A and B are shown apart, each in its own frame.
Chain A
Amino acid sequence: MGTKKQLTPYEKVLTARDVKRPGIMEYIDMLFDDFMELHGDRLYRDDTSIVGGIALFHGMPVTVIGNRKGKNTEENIQYNFGMTSPEGFRKAVRLMNQAEKFGRPVITFVDTPGAYPGLEAESNGQSNAIAESIARMSCLKVPTVAVITGEGSSGGALALAVADSVWMLENEVYSILSPEGFASILWKDAKRAPEACEIMKITAEELKEFGLIDGIIPEGKKLFPALDKMFLAELTRLGKFSGSALAANRYQKFRRMDGLYKNTSAWDGKARISN
Chain B
Amino acid sequence: MTIDDIFKQRKKRWNSLIRIRRNETVEECECPKCKQRETVDKVRANKWVCRNCGYYLSMAPMERIQMVCDEGSFREMNGDFTSEDPLHFPDYGKKLTALHNATGQTDAFVSGVCRIAGIKVALGVLDSRFLMGSMGTVVGEKILRLTEYAGRKKLPLIIFSASGGARMQEGLFSLMQMAKTAAAVDRFKQNGGLFLSFLTNPTTGGVSASFASLGDIILAEPDALICFAGPRVIQQTIGQTLPEGFQHAEFLLEHGMLDAIVEREKCRETLYKLLAWHQK
- Which residues on A are within 8 Å of B, measured CB to CB? 115, 117-119, 121-128, 130-132, 134-136, 138-139, 154-155, 157-158, 162, 174-177, 181-182, 185-186, 199-202, 207, 210, 212, 250-251, 254-255, 257-263, 266-267, 270-275
Chain A residues, CB < 8 A from B81: 267, 270
| Inter-subunit contact A259/B255 (CB<8 Å) | no
Chain A residue nearest in CB terms to B85: A259
The majority secondary structure among interface residues of chain B is helix
The number of residues on chain B lying at the interface, defined by a beta carbon within 8 Å of a beta carbon of chain A, is 71
22 of the cross-chain contacts (CB-CB < 8 Å) are A121-B228, A126-B227, A134-B210, A135-B186, A139-B186, A154-B175, A155-B206, A158-B176, A175-B172, A176-B168, A176-B171, A199-B90, A202-B171, A210-B172, A212-B172, A251-B183, A258-B140, A259-B136, A263-B84, A270-B81, A272-B79, A273-B75
Smallest CB–CB gap between B255 and chain A, Å? 5
| Contact, CB under 8 Å: A182 / B168 | yes
A261 contacts which chain B residues (CB < 8 A)?
86
Report the number of A-B residue pairs with Cβ-Cβ less than 8 Å. 190
Residue of B nearest to A207 (CB): B172
Q: Which of B64-123 contact A (CB under 8 A)?
A: 75-81, 83-87, 89-90, 112
Given contacts A138-B183, A255-B184, 17 further A-B contacts (CB under 8 A): A115-B209, A118-B238, A125-B256, A125-B257, A127-B226, A127-B228, A134-B183, A135-B185, A135-B214, A185-B168, A200-B87, A207-B172, A210-B86, A255-B144, A259-B83, A262-B84, A273-B3
For residue B177, which residues in chain A have a CB less than 8 angstroms away from its CB?
Answer: 257
* B166 on interface, CB distance cutoff 8 Å: yes
A274: chain B residues at CB < 8 Å are 77-78, 145, 149
Contact B168 A117 (CB under 8 A): no
**How far is it, in angstroms, between the C-alpha of A181 and the C-alpha of B186 when the chains are bound?**
30
On whether the beta carbons of A176 and B174 are closer than 8 Å, the reply is yes
Q: Are A199 and B136 in contact (CB-based, < 8 A)?
A: no
Nearest 9 Cβ contacts at the A-B interface: A117-B229, A259-B137, A138-B183, A259-B86, A131-B213, A135-B186, A127-B208, A126-B228, A257-B176
In the complex, B45 has a CB within 8 A of chain A: no
**Contacts A132-B214, A182-B168, A202-B171 given; does A254 touch B86 at CB 8 Å:** no
Closest to B229 in A: A117
Q: Are the C-beta atoms of B208 and A176 separated by less than 8 Å? A: no
Mark out the residues of chain B between 196 and 212 whose CB falls within 8 Å of any chain A CB in the assembled complex. 205-206, 208-212
Q: Would A130 and B246 count as touching, CB distance under 8 A?
A: no
Q: A126-B229, A154-B175, A259-B137 are in contact. Are A134 and B182 (CB under 8 A)?
A: yes
Is B170 part of the binding interface, using a Cβ–Cβ cutoff of 8 Å? yes
